[in-house]
Amino acid sequence: MGTDAASTRTIGALTAIAVAGALAALLAPAHATSTDRGRAAPERSATDTAARPAAAPPGGLTARAWILTDAETGRVLAAKEAHRQLAPASTLKTLFALTVLPKFPADMVRTVTAADLKGVGEGSSLVGIKKGRQYKVADLWRGVFLRSGNDAVHVLANMNGGWRATAQEMQLKARSLGAQDTVVKTPDGYDAPGQVSSASDLALFARKGLENADFARYCATVRAAFPGGSRGPYDIVNTNRMLSGTKGVPRYPGVIGVKNGFTSKAGNTLIAAAKRDGRTLVATVLGPSKKKNAVYKEAATLLNWGFNAN
Protein backbone atom coordinates (compact mmCIF):
# COMPACT_ATOMS: atom_id res chain seq x y z
CA MET A 1 0.00 0.00 0.00
CA GLY A 2 3.03 2.35 0.25
CA THR A 3 3.78 4.97 -2.37
CA ASP A 4 6.11 3.99 -5.17
CA ALA A 5 8.24 7.13 -4.70
CA ALA A 6 11.09 6.02 -6.94
CA SER A 7 8.69 5.29 -9.78
CA THR A 8 7.06 8.68 -9.39
CA ARG A 9 10.41 10.50 -9.38
CA THR A 10 11.51 8.62 -12.52
CA ILE A 11 8.31 9.49 -14.37
CA GLY A 12 8.68 13.10 -13.31
CA ALA A 13 12.27 13.35 -14.50
CA LEU A 14 11.50 11.78 -17.87
CA THR A 15 8.49 14.05 -18.29
CA ALA A 16 10.52 17.17 -17.56
CA ILE A 17 13.23 16.17 -20.06
CA ALA A 18 10.73 15.39 -22.81
CA VAL A 19 8.78 18.58 -22.23
CA ALA A 20 11.86 20.78 -22.20
CA GLY A 21 13.06 19.35 -25.49
CA ALA A 22 9.79 19.82 -27.36
CA LEU A 23 8.09 22.84 -25.84
CA ALA A 24 10.02 25.60 -27.57
CA ALA A 25 9.14 24.32 -31.02
CA LEU A 26 5.44 23.99 -30.33
CA LEU A 27 4.61 26.78 -27.91
CA ALA A 28 5.13 29.76 -30.19
CA PRO A 29 1.88 29.42 -32.13
CA ALA A 30 -0.07 29.29 -28.88
CA HIS A 31 0.45 33.00 -28.25
CA ALA A 32 -0.92 34.10 -31.62
CA THR A 33 -4.39 35.58 -31.65
CA SER A 34 -7.38 34.28 -33.60
CA THR A 35 -6.76 36.86 -36.30
CA ASP A 36 -2.99 36.63 -36.73
CA ARG A 37 -2.44 32.88 -36.68
CA GLY A 38 -3.01 32.67 -40.42
CA ARG A 39 -4.62 29.26 -40.17
CA ALA A 40 -7.47 28.03 -42.31
CA ALA A 41 -10.19 27.95 -39.63
CA PRO A 42 -11.56 31.50 -39.16
CA GLU A 43 -13.87 32.76 -36.46
CA ARG A 44 -17.23 31.07 -36.99
CA SER A 45 -20.53 32.83 -36.61
CA ALA A 46 -23.67 31.26 -35.18
CA THR A 47 -24.67 30.20 -38.66
CA ASP A 48 -21.31 28.80 -39.71
CA THR A 49 -21.18 25.00 -39.79
CA ALA A 50 -18.89 22.40 -41.29
CA ALA A 51 -21.87 21.03 -43.16
CA ARG A 52 -24.67 23.58 -42.94
CA PRO A 53 -27.82 21.94 -41.52
CA ALA A 54 -31.24 22.60 -42.98
CA ALA A 55 -32.60 23.98 -39.70
CA ALA A 56 -31.34 27.28 -38.28
CA PRO A 57 -29.36 26.98 -35.02
CA PRO A 58 -31.31 27.77 -31.86
CA GLY A 59 -31.71 31.41 -30.89
CA GLY A 60 -31.69 33.06 -27.52
CA LEU A 61 -28.28 31.80 -26.40
CA THR A 62 -26.33 34.30 -24.31
CA ALA A 63 -22.95 32.54 -24.12
CA ARG A 64 -19.91 34.44 -25.37
CA ALA A 65 -18.90 31.34 -27.33
CA TRP A 66 -20.39 27.92 -27.96
CA ILE A 67 -20.11 24.92 -30.24
CA LEU A 68 -22.06 21.74 -30.92
CA THR A 69 -20.15 18.82 -32.42
CA ASP A 70 -20.66 15.20 -33.32
CA ALA A 71 -18.41 13.25 -30.93
CA GLU A 72 -17.59 10.46 -33.38
CA THR A 73 -16.91 12.43 -36.56
CA GLY A 74 -15.94 15.82 -35.15
CA ARG A 75 -18.43 17.49 -37.48
CA VAL A 76 -19.42 20.96 -36.31
CA LEU A 77 -23.20 21.20 -36.33
CA ALA A 78 -23.31 24.84 -35.26
CA ALA A 79 -21.08 27.34 -33.50
CA LYS A 80 -20.67 30.89 -32.31
CA GLU A 81 -17.12 32.28 -32.05
CA ALA A 82 -15.83 28.76 -31.56
CA HIS A 83 -12.15 29.86 -31.70
CA ARG A 84 -12.53 32.86 -29.41
CA GLN A 85 -9.88 32.61 -26.69
CA LEU A 86 -11.49 32.75 -23.25
CA ALA A 87 -10.70 31.65 -19.72
CA PRO A 88 -11.78 27.99 -19.50
CA ALA A 89 -12.03 27.46 -15.71
CA SER A 90 -12.21 23.78 -14.72
CA THR A 91 -13.18 22.56 -18.19
CA LEU A 92 -9.40 22.65 -18.73
CA LYS A 93 -9.23 19.61 -16.45
CA THR A 94 -10.27 17.58 -19.50
CA LEU A 95 -6.87 18.35 -21.03
CA PHE A 96 -5.19 17.59 -17.69
CA ALA A 97 -6.84 14.17 -17.69
CA LEU A 98 -5.91 13.48 -21.32
CA THR A 99 -2.30 14.24 -20.41
CA VAL A 100 -1.86 12.52 -17.04
CA LEU A 101 -4.56 9.87 -16.63
CA PRO A 102 -2.85 7.17 -18.75
CA LYS A 103 0.36 7.32 -16.70
CA PHE A 104 -0.61 5.87 -13.35
CA PRO A 105 -2.55 2.64 -12.60
CA ALA A 106 -5.85 3.15 -10.82
CA ASP A 107 -4.81 1.08 -7.80
CA MET A 108 -1.48 2.87 -7.27
CA VAL A 109 -1.36 4.50 -3.83
CA ARG A 110 -0.06 7.96 -2.99
CA THR A 111 0.74 9.16 0.51
CA VAL A 112 0.03 12.89 0.30
CA THR A 113 2.74 15.30 1.43
CA ALA A 114 2.65 18.98 2.26
CA ALA A 115 4.47 19.65 -1.02
CA ASP A 116 1.64 17.94 -2.93
CA LEU A 117 -0.84 20.50 -1.64
CA LYS A 118 1.36 23.57 -1.87
CA GLY A 119 -0.02 26.39 -3.99
CA VAL A 120 -3.69 25.40 -4.14
CA GLY A 121 -5.41 28.63 -5.16
CA GLU A 122 -7.53 30.61 -2.74
CA GLY A 123 -11.20 29.81 -3.13
CA SER A 124 -10.47 26.63 -5.11
CA SER A 125 -12.98 23.83 -5.27
CA LEU A 126 -11.68 20.99 -3.08
CA VAL A 127 -12.50 17.33 -2.53
CA GLY A 128 -10.82 17.25 0.88
CA ILE A 129 -7.35 15.73 0.37
CA LYS A 130 -5.44 15.50 3.67
CA LYS A 131 -1.69 15.53 4.21
CA GLY A 132 -0.36 12.18 5.42
CA ARG A 133 -3.36 10.18 4.20
CA GLN A 134 -3.10 7.52 1.51
CA TYR A 135 -5.25 7.69 -1.63
CA LYS A 136 -5.55 5.42 -4.62
CA VAL A 137 -5.08 7.09 -7.98
CA ALA A 138 -8.70 6.19 -8.78
CA ASP A 139 -9.80 8.16 -5.70
CA LEU A 140 -7.81 11.17 -6.87
CA TRP A 141 -9.41 11.07 -10.33
CA ARG A 142 -12.87 10.83 -8.81
CA GLY A 143 -11.94 13.90 -6.82
CA VAL A 144 -10.99 15.67 -10.05
CA PHE A 145 -14.04 14.70 -12.09
CA LEU A 146 -16.80 14.72 -9.48
CA ARG A 147 -15.78 17.56 -7.15
CA SER A 148 -13.46 19.43 -9.53
CA GLY A 149 -10.95 19.19 -6.70
CA ASN A 150 -7.93 21.39 -7.30
CA ASP A 151 -6.29 19.64 -4.35
CA ALA A 152 -6.55 16.32 -6.23
CA VAL A 153 -5.11 17.95 -9.36
CA HIS A 154 -2.14 19.23 -7.36
CA VAL A 155 -1.37 15.74 -6.01
CA LEU A 156 -1.55 14.13 -9.45
CA ALA A 157 0.51 16.91 -11.03
CA ASN A 158 3.19 16.44 -8.36
CA MET A 159 3.26 12.74 -9.17
CA ASN A 160 3.71 13.71 -12.82
CA GLY A 161 6.85 15.79 -12.24
CA GLY A 162 5.43 18.97 -10.79
CA TRP A 163 3.03 21.81 -11.48
CA ARG A 164 5.03 23.65 -14.11
CA ALA A 165 6.16 20.50 -15.94
CA THR A 166 2.58 19.27 -16.10
CA ALA A 167 1.32 22.58 -17.49
CA GLN A 168 4.03 22.45 -20.17
CA GLU A 169 3.16 18.87 -21.02
CA MET A 170 -0.51 19.80 -21.31
CA GLN A 171 0.48 22.55 -23.74
CA LEU A 172 2.33 20.02 -25.88
CA LYS A 173 -0.61 17.63 -25.70
CA ALA A 174 -2.98 20.35 -26.90
CA ARG A 175 -0.78 21.11 -29.90
CA SER A 176 -0.38 17.42 -30.74
CA LEU A 177 -4.17 17.15 -30.96
CA GLY A 178 -4.37 20.18 -33.23
CA ALA A 179 -5.77 22.53 -30.59
CA GLN A 180 -4.31 25.93 -31.43
CA ASP A 181 -6.35 28.24 -29.18
CA THR A 182 -5.26 26.88 -25.80
CA VAL A 183 -2.55 28.39 -23.59
CA VAL A 184 -1.96 26.47 -20.36
CA LYS A 185 -0.71 28.17 -17.22
CA THR A 186 -2.39 26.13 -14.47
CA PRO A 187 -3.29 22.43 -14.81
CA ASP A 188 -6.46 22.86 -12.72
CA GLY A 189 -7.93 25.75 -14.74
CA TYR A 190 -7.55 28.29 -11.92
CA ASP A 191 -7.46 31.79 -13.39
CA ALA A 192 -3.97 32.92 -14.40
CA PRO A 193 -2.78 35.71 -16.72
CA GLY A 194 -2.66 34.47 -20.30
CA GLN A 195 -4.49 31.21 -19.70
CA VAL A 196 -7.12 30.67 -22.40
CA SER A 197 -8.85 28.02 -24.43
CA SER A 198 -11.80 27.99 -26.82
CA ALA A 199 -15.09 26.21 -27.29
CA SER A 200 -13.59 24.39 -30.25
CA ASP A 201 -10.51 23.16 -28.36
CA LEU A 202 -12.49 22.12 -25.30
CA ALA A 203 -14.91 20.13 -27.45
CA LEU A 204 -11.91 18.39 -28.99
CA PHE A 205 -10.48 17.52 -25.55
CA ALA A 206 -13.82 16.05 -24.51
CA ARG A 207 -14.17 14.01 -27.69
CA LYS A 208 -10.67 12.58 -27.31
CA GLY A 209 -11.25 11.95 -23.62
CA LEU A 210 -14.43 9.98 -24.25
CA GLU A 211 -12.38 7.58 -26.38
CA ASN A 212 -10.56 6.54 -23.19
CA ALA A 213 -12.60 4.10 -21.09
CA ASP A 214 -11.26 5.42 -17.78
CA PHE A 215 -11.92 9.05 -18.70
CA ALA A 216 -15.43 8.16 -19.88
CA ARG A 217 -16.17 6.24 -16.68
CA TYR A 218 -14.92 8.97 -14.33
CA CYS A 219 -16.73 11.80 -16.12
CA ALA A 220 -20.00 9.83 -16.09
CA THR A 221 -19.86 8.99 -12.36
CA VAL A 222 -22.62 10.73 -10.43
CA ARG A 223 -21.76 9.73 -6.86
CA ALA A 224 -18.87 7.99 -5.10
CA ALA A 225 -17.48 7.29 -1.64
CA PHE A 226 -14.30 9.28 -0.95
CA PRO A 227 -11.78 8.15 1.67
CA GLY A 228 -11.21 10.27 4.76
CA GLY A 229 -13.25 12.13 7.30
CA SER A 230 -13.50 11.48 11.01
CA ARG A 231 -16.14 8.82 10.45
CA GLY A 232 -14.64 7.16 7.41
CA PRO A 233 -15.50 7.57 3.71
CA TYR A 234 -17.99 10.26 2.73
CA ASP A 235 -20.16 10.72 -0.33
CA ILE A 236 -19.18 13.11 -3.10
CA VAL A 237 -21.61 14.13 -5.85
CA ASN A 238 -20.72 15.32 -9.32
CA THR A 239 -20.91 19.12 -9.61
CA ASN A 240 -22.12 18.79 -13.22
CA ARG A 241 -25.81 19.38 -12.61
CA MET A 242 -26.86 18.03 -16.02
CA LEU A 243 -25.41 14.70 -14.85
CA SER A 244 -26.39 14.71 -11.17
CA GLY A 245 -29.82 16.32 -11.59
CA THR A 246 -29.31 18.68 -8.66
CA LYS A 247 -29.99 22.31 -7.68
CA GLY A 248 -32.91 22.84 -10.02
CA VAL A 249 -31.39 21.21 -13.12
CA PRO A 250 -33.04 17.97 -14.31
CA ARG A 251 -30.72 15.18 -15.36
CA TYR A 252 -30.42 15.44 -19.13
CA PRO A 253 -31.68 12.33 -20.99
CA GLY A 254 -28.74 10.30 -22.25
CA VAL A 255 -26.09 12.48 -20.58
CA ILE A 256 -22.63 10.90 -20.30
CA GLY A 257 -20.53 13.77 -18.79
CA VAL A 258 -18.16 15.68 -19.33
CA LYS A 259 -17.01 18.65 -17.15
CA ASN A 260 -18.25 21.96 -15.74
CA GLY A 261 -16.32 24.90 -14.32
CA PHE A 262 -16.53 28.34 -12.79
CA THR A 263 -14.13 31.16 -11.96
CA SER A 264 -14.69 34.87 -11.51
CA LYS A 265 -12.92 35.57 -14.81
CA ALA A 266 -14.44 32.77 -16.89
CA GLY A 267 -17.93 32.79 -15.44
CA ASN A 268 -19.71 29.47 -15.89
CA THR A 269 -18.28 27.03 -18.40
CA LEU A 270 -19.48 23.58 -19.44
CA ILE A 271 -18.72 20.72 -21.78
CA ALA A 272 -21.75 18.38 -21.91
CA ALA A 273 -21.98 15.14 -23.87
CA ALA A 274 -25.10 13.07 -24.41
CA LYS A 275 -25.98 9.97 -26.42
CA ARG A 276 -29.25 9.28 -28.19
CA ASP A 277 -30.19 6.76 -30.89
CA GLY A 278 -26.56 5.76 -31.35
CA ARG A 279 -25.29 9.34 -31.75
CA THR A 280 -23.16 11.23 -29.26
CA LEU A 281 -23.13 15.02 -29.35
CA VAL A 282 -20.91 17.41 -27.40
CA ALA A 283 -22.11 20.91 -26.46
CA THR A 284 -19.56 23.40 -25.13
CA VAL A 285 -20.81 26.66 -23.60
CA LEU A 286 -18.55 29.44 -22.32
CA GLY A 287 -19.63 32.47 -20.31
CA PRO A 288 -23.42 32.68 -20.63
CA SER A 289 -25.56 35.17 -18.72
CA LYS A 290 -25.40 35.16 -14.94
CA LYS A 291 -28.94 33.86 -14.62
CA LYS A 292 -29.18 30.76 -12.43
CA ASN A 293 -28.26 27.55 -14.27
CA ALA A 294 -27.97 29.36 -17.62
CA VAL A 295 -24.93 27.31 -18.67
CA TYR A 296 -26.88 24.05 -18.24
CA LYS A 297 -30.02 25.36 -19.91
CA GLU A 298 -28.09 26.60 -22.94
CA ALA A 299 -26.17 23.33 -23.27
CA ALA A 300 -29.47 21.44 -23.11
CA THR A 301 -30.92 23.73 -25.78
CA LEU A 302 -28.00 22.98 -28.07
CA LEU A 303 -28.19 19.23 -27.50
CA ASN A 304 -31.97 19.18 -28.05
CA TRP A 305 -31.56 21.08 -31.29
CA GLY A 306 -28.76 18.81 -32.44
CA PHE A 307 -30.64 15.59 -31.82
CA ASN A 308 -33.90 16.89 -33.29
CA ALA A 309 -32.72 18.91 -36.28
CA ASN A 310 -29.77 16.88 -37.65
Q: Which of 80, 90, 125, 198 is catalytic?
A: 90
Round to whole Å and give the CA distance between 83 and 44: 7
The tally of CA atoms less than 13 A away on the side-chain side of residue 40 is: 2
Report the SS3 class of residue 131. coil
Sequence length of the chain is: 310
Task: Please name the amino acid found at residue 110.
Answer: R
Is residue 290 part of the annotated active site? The answer reads no
Q: Which of 124, 125, 148, 197 is catalytic?
A: 148
Is residue 292 part of the annotated active site? The answer reads no
Is residue 93 part of the annotated active site? The answer reads yes
Residue 20 burial (CB count, 10 A): 11
Residue 224: beta bridge partners? 236
What's the CA angle centered on 257, arms 172 and 102, to 5 degrees? Answer: 40
Residues whose CB is less than 8 angstroms from the CB of residue 146 and which lie 6 or more positions away in sequence, other chains included: 127, 218, 221, 223, 224, 236, 237, 238, 239
Q: Which of 80, 93, 208, 297 is catalytic?
A: 93
Catalytically active residues are: 90, 93, 148
